[in-house]
Amino acid sequence: MKKFLLIFIVLIFALPAYALDGTQLLKQIDRNLNPESFEMYRKLINVEPDGRKKEFVLFSVKKGLDKIAALFLEPASERGRSTLRLGDNMWLYIPNVGKPIRITSLQSVIGGVFNNSDILQLDYAAEYDVMKVEETGNEYLLLLKAKTKTVAYDQLKLWADKSKKLPTKIECLTEAGMLIKTLYFKEVKDFGGGIVRPSYIETDSPLYKNYKSVMIFAKIQKKDFKDEVFTLTFMPNIDSLRK
Amino acid sequence: MKKLLLYTLLLLFCLYSLVFAEEYKFELSETEKKPYQLGGYGEFRPVLFGLDRNAALYKLKFYNRDEGRRIEEYNFRLQLEGSYEYGIARIFGRVNGDLSHTYQGWSDETSLYEGFLSLKPSNSFTLDMGKKTLKWGKGYAWNPVAFIDRPKDPDEPDLALEGFWVLSADFIQSFSGPLKTLSFTPVFLPVLERINDAFGTTEKANLAAKLYLLLYDTDIDFIVFTGGSRSTRYGVDFSRNITSNFEIHGEFAYIEDFQKRYIDSNGNILSSTNDTVSYLLGVRYLSQRETTYILEYYRNGTGFTKGEFQYFYQFVDRAYDNYLATGNDAPLGKALNLSQGNYGRPNPMRNYLYLRISQKEPLDILYFTPSLTTIVNLNDPSFSIAPEVAYTGITNLELRLKATFLVGGGETEFGEKPNDYRIELRARYYF
């Protein structure tokens, strides 16, 4: 009986400690992917089954846990469009329309496999709780559950390299466990300033058979911004942050 | 053997790297910022109109000519925009050029849509001076609180509009807590002989201001306009996501001493002055199948009643009969002037419903979006219904095929328009 009680007590203390480890691990993965506040450039490429491509170039700035904005630089048809995310709020500014409109995380402003939440990705730890951590060979497998209903994917399965603590693959799932898309993190590269992370993400989806999308990263730099940058009124001026 | 294997692996790796580099190239030059930017688009838009020869506005337009049952129109547009940035200063300009061939022959028009100098000494403060569009309001098809914008066309709400000459500023402040953002935008708008004279009474100074709050995840604007060119008006609008895929928005405008000019069936011009209220309520919903629904109700307090509009149609019919009997087209000329003024503005009556349904990439066809839009005049009731398909799969090329059918009986808004249907192709190339 005593033994049973002892095991029970150890388990009670061990479970939160394990959950805490998972959360710490996820936070570590977030920090290894990006500094908390930074700027970067990305190229998004949608590849159709016949090999045709459509490319987009974006400049993005992020601050803290819940603020991120992105500006389209190319192609010409999208130039000047910007998107802003403040927590669960997302807006799209189109120069011709002239005013920001609210958008949702599951929409895609570019078409293809990447949606708005992929483009305006916050820290994983800000949006997800760690439900379980498994160790498989050289990798961790983290099972993540969305903190709120407003998050684009209800569940994530995140595989991370044990030594680098960087994601290698993420499966995005619905509440019912249906696979929406898979993200593959590839080509770890030194961006300078201590940022060593995958330099591109490839994604495919059973919802878009034979299509794939790629996100290539460049010039990731730690940088601090004023909160006023992440406001609706500032959206037409995001280009002024580029040097 | 080992060496051969090693060389083969090395070769394969090099080939892979080459292929990879070819497939997913991201040159640093693509991220470099230039102090200047030039761009715009060129557009070709042929349109086919199916005429309604019994409609009042057909008689008004074609009373002295017979163009058959259908007419074609060829429209070309070139919109150029450019900017130059130096330190805290930026100059921006947008010029629109239209060239059209209609049943009346060739015509062209070039306008400066926007042209202003922007000074931004900090991220919290911007000062703009020049010609600028402000586009206030949250509505998609209509904006009753857009007090200092030209009215947009609900058939093409996304088109760029010509601005007014203004001096404006933006002050922005961010907070933590329920109030996340506060920004204040004061605007000075002078109306002189050749500056902003389309806005209202000339030789007057006008002031407008907008206070924006992001409060409890809701966008809220408080707007005021006062000055001698138009009567004083107050507005408020809001937009909020109820869930991640369901948004609601609204606008409310209170207009003091609004002067409405209308005619009776004999063509006598009458006038009334009243305080009036306009408002809009709308929702935007994205379904799991990625169908977007935009539904808006618009109460246009400045619009004409059903009776007032019927008087106009009766006047047109009388003027036309008079022309047939006597050959005198003066009353028709008067009616034509009215139709190019208040009676000819988009959606001139009081109660409207707007519904747009668009399906993103059905059948996994990337960049392909079919849509259906309807605008219903709830007073008549008459309506327009417009199916369209858009394709943006070729970089920088936008293709859209749209048909618009107008449905309504006699003395109704859509029933008395000069055409029964309109089919148009729009090919737009961005550069």
- Cβ atoms B280, B139 nearer than 8 A: yes
Q: Which among A75, A111, A234 has CB closest to B361?
A: A111
The C-alpha torsion from B174 through B175 and B181 to B182, rounded to 10°, is -80
Q: 3-state DSSP call for residue B395?
A: coil
User: In this complex, which of A73, A106, A208 lies closest to B286 when CB atoms are compared?
Assistant: A106
First to last CA, chain A: 69
Q: Which amino acid makes up residue B266?
A: N
Q: What tens digit of pLDDT does each residue of B240-256 get?
A: 999 888 999 999 999 99
User: Of A25, A35, A33, whose CA–CA distance to A189 is shortest?
Assistant: A33
Q: What is the mean pLDDT of residues A214-227?
A: 94
Instruction: Give the distance from residue A7's alpha carbon to the nearest chain B alpha carbon, in angstroms.
Output: 44
Measured CA to CA, the distance from residue B341 to residue B349 in angstroms comes to 14
Q: Please tell me which of the candidates A89, A112, A152 has its beta carbon nearest to residue B217.
A: A89
In chain A, residues with a C-beta closer than 8 Å to the C-beta of B367 are 54, 111
Pick from A129, A131, A108, A132: nearest CA to A120: A108
- In chain A, the domains with their CATH numbers are 2-241 (2.50.20.10)
Name which of B219, B240, B366 is nearest A232 (Cβ-Cβ). B219
Residue B188 and residue B167 in contact, taking contact as beta carbons nearer than 8 Å? yes
- Over chain B, what is the mean pLDDT? 91
Asked whether the beta carbons of B164 and B132 are under 8 A apart, the reply is yes
Q: Is the Cβ pair B286, A105 closer than 8 Å?
A: no
Q: Is the pLDDT of residue A145 over 70?
A: yes
The DSSP call for residue B419 is E
Nearest CA in chain B to A229: B123
- Check B360 against A43: CB less than 8 A apart: no
Residues of chain A contacting residue B174, judged by C-beta atoms under 8 Å apart: 226-228, 230-231
Q: What is the pLDDT of residues B252-291, one digit of tens each?
A: 999 999 988 888 877 788 888 999 999 999 999 998 888 9
Residue A1 has pLDDT above 70, yes or no: no
- Nearest CB to B247 within list A99, A102, A226: A102
Give me the DSSP letters along B106-146. EEEEEEEEEEEEEEEEETTEEEEEEEE-----S-SS--TT-
Q: Which of chain A's residues have a Cβ under 8 Å away from the Cβ of B151? A: none
- B241/A104 CB distance under 8 A: yes
Continuous segment of H or E residues that includes residue A2: helix A2-33
- What SS3 class is residue A173? strand
pLDDT at residue A17, rounded to an integer: 44
- Beta-carbon separation of B243 and A150 below 8 A: yes
Q: Do B430 and A75 touch (CB under 8 A)?
A: yes
pLDDT band at B16 (very low <50, low <70, confident <90, very high): very low
> Per-residue DSSP letters for A83-151?
EEEETTEEEEE-TTT-S-EE--TTS-SS-SS--HHHHT---HHHHEEEEEEEEETTEEEEEEEESSTTS
Q: Which residues of A touch B249 (CB under 8 A)?
A: 102
pLDDT for residue A168 is more than 80:
yes
Q: Dihedral sign, CA of A119, A124, A126, A127?
A: positive
Q: Coil, helix or strand for A203?
A: strand
Indicate the pTM of the whole model: 0.88
**pLDDT grade for B18, boundaries at 50, 70 and 90:** very low
Q: What percent of chain A has pLDDT over 90?
A: 63
- Residues A217-229 have a mean pLDDT of 95
| B156: pLDDT strictly greater than 50 | yes
Interface test with B, best of A45, A71, A102, A225 (most B CBs within 10 A): A102
Minimal C-alpha gap between A167 and chain B (Å) = 20
Which range has the top average pLDDT, A12-16, B15-19, B192-196, B259-263?
A: B192-196
- CA gap A113, A214 in Å, rounded: 9
Which 3 state secondary structure label does DSSP give B195?
coil
pLDDT-based confidence at B193, cuts 50/70/90?
Answer: very high
**Integer angstrom CA distances of residue B101 from B45, B60, B64:** 11, 20, 20
CA–CA separation, A203 vs A183, rounded Å?
4
Selected for mutation to probe chain B from A201, A203, A230, A231 (highest B CB count within 10 Å) is A231
CB contact under 8 A, B244 and A214: no
- Chain A residues inside the 8 Å CB shell of B135: 97-99
Average pLDDT of the segment spanning B284-308: 92
Reduced to 3 states, what is the DSSP secondary structure of residue B156?
coil
Task: Name beta bridge partners: B132.
Answer: B164
Residue A236 is predicted with a pLDDT of 92
B64: exposed, middle or buried (Cβ count in 10 Å: 0-12, 13-18, 19+)? exposed
Neighbours of B304 (CB within 10 A): 20
H runs (alpha helix) in B295-358 = 306-326, 330-340
Q: Give the phi and the psi of residue A113 in degrees, each rounded to 5.
A: -80, -35
Q: Across-strand partners of A171?
A: A157, A182
pLDDT of residue A6: 54
Q: Over the stretch B103-155, which tens digit does the pLDDT of each residue have?
A: 999 999 999 999 999 999 999 999 999 999 999 999 999 999 999 999 899 99
Distance from CA of A165 to the nearest CA of B (A): 25
Question: What's the gap in Å between the CA of B192 and the closest CA on chain A?
Answer: 26
Distance CA A93, CA A96 (A): 9
The C-alpha atoms of residue B17 and residue A100 are separated, in whole angstroms, by: 41
Q: Which of B16, B19, B25, B26 to mutate to test the interface with A (most CBs of A within 10 A)?
A: B26
The chain B residue lying nearest A151, using CA atoms, is B244
Residue B320 pLDDT > 80, yes or no?
yes
Q: Which of A5-19, A146-160, B364-378 bottoms out in mean pLDDT, i.e. has the lowest?
A: A5-19
At residue A42, the pLDDT reads 96
Closest CB to A99: pick one of B135, B160, B392.
B135
| Percentage of chain A modeled with pLDDT above 70 | 91
pLDDT at residue B223 in the model? 98
Q: Is the pLDDT of residue B76 over 90?
A: yes
DSSP B11-32: HHHHHHHHHHHHHS---GGGGP
Q: What interhelical angle do B330-340 and B306-326 show, nearest 10?
A: 150
Q: Residue B392 phi/psi, 5° resolution?
A: -125, 30
Q: Is the predicted pLDDT of residue A8 greater than 60, yes or no?
A: no
Of B138, B183, B430, the CB nearest to A76: B430
- DSSP tally for chain A: helices H, then strands E: 3, 13
Determine the residue of chain A that is closest to B88 in CA distance.
A240
- pLDDT greater than 60 at residue B79: yes
B248 CB-near residues (< 8 Å, 6+ apart): B239, B240, B242, B281, B282, B283
In this prediction, residue A136 carries a pLDDT of 86
Domains and their CATH numbers in chain B: 44-430 (2.40.160.10)
Instruction: Using CA coordinates, name the residue in chain A closest to B157.
Output: A97
Quick one: closest CA in B to A153, which residue? B244
Nearest CA in chain B to A56: B395
Question: In which region does residue B427 sit, left (phi positive, over 0), alpha (psi from -120 to 50) or beta (all else)?
Answer: beta
- Cα A156 to its chain centre, rounded Å, is 11
- Rounded to an integer, what distance in angstroms lies between the CA atom of residue B58 and that of residue B70? 12
Distance CA A42, CA A201 (A): 11
A64 and B158 in contact (C-beta within 8 Å)?
no
Chain B residues closer than 8 Å to A96 by CB: 158-160
- Residue among A55, A114, A113, A54 at smallest CA distance from A83: A114
Which chain A residues have a beta carbon less than 8 Å from that of B431? 76
Please give the sequence-ordered ranges of beta strands (E in DSSP) within B61-217, or none if there are none.
70-86, 89-102, 105-122, 125-132, 164-174, 179-191, 204-215
Q: Is the CB of B284 less than 8 angstroms away from the CB of A230?
A: no
pLDDT band, residue A48 (cuts 50/70/90): confident
Judge whether residue B388 has pLDDT over 90. Answer: yes
pLDDT, greater one: A14 or A86: A86
Please check the confidence at residue B75 and state whether its pLDDT lies above 50.
yes
B345, pLDDT greater than 90: no
| Torsion angles phi and psi, residue A77, rounded to 5 | -65, -20
Residue B310 structure tokens = 């019927």
pLDDT at B23: 66
Residues from chain B that touch A232, judged by Cβ atoms under 8 A, are: 181, 183, 212, 214, 219
Asked if the Cβ–Cβ distance from B244 to A105 is below 8 Å, we say yes
CA distance B376 to B347: 10
Model confidence band, residue A57 (pLDDT cutoffs 50, 70, 90): very high
The neighbour count for residue A41, using CB atoms within 10 Å, is 21
CA-nearest residue to B283 within chain A is: A102
Looking at beta carbons, which pairs linking A68-71 to residues 24 or more positions away fall under 8 Å? A68/A120, A68/A121, A68/A122, A68/A230, A69/A120, A69/A229, A69/A230, A69/A235, A69/A238, A70/A42, A70/A119, A70/A120, A71/A238, A71/A239
Cβ–Cβ under 8 Å, residues A81 and A91: no
Residue A3 phi/psi, 5° resolution? Answer: -60, -45
**So what's the pLDDT on residue B233?**
97
pLDDT score of B6: 53
- How many A-B residue pairs are in contact by the CB < 8 A criterion? 155
Q: Which residues of chain A are within 8 Å of residue B397 when distances are taken between CB atoms?
A: 77
Alpha-carbon distance of B30 to B21, in angstroms, equals 15
With contacts defined as CB-CB under 8 Å, which chain A residues touch B284?
102
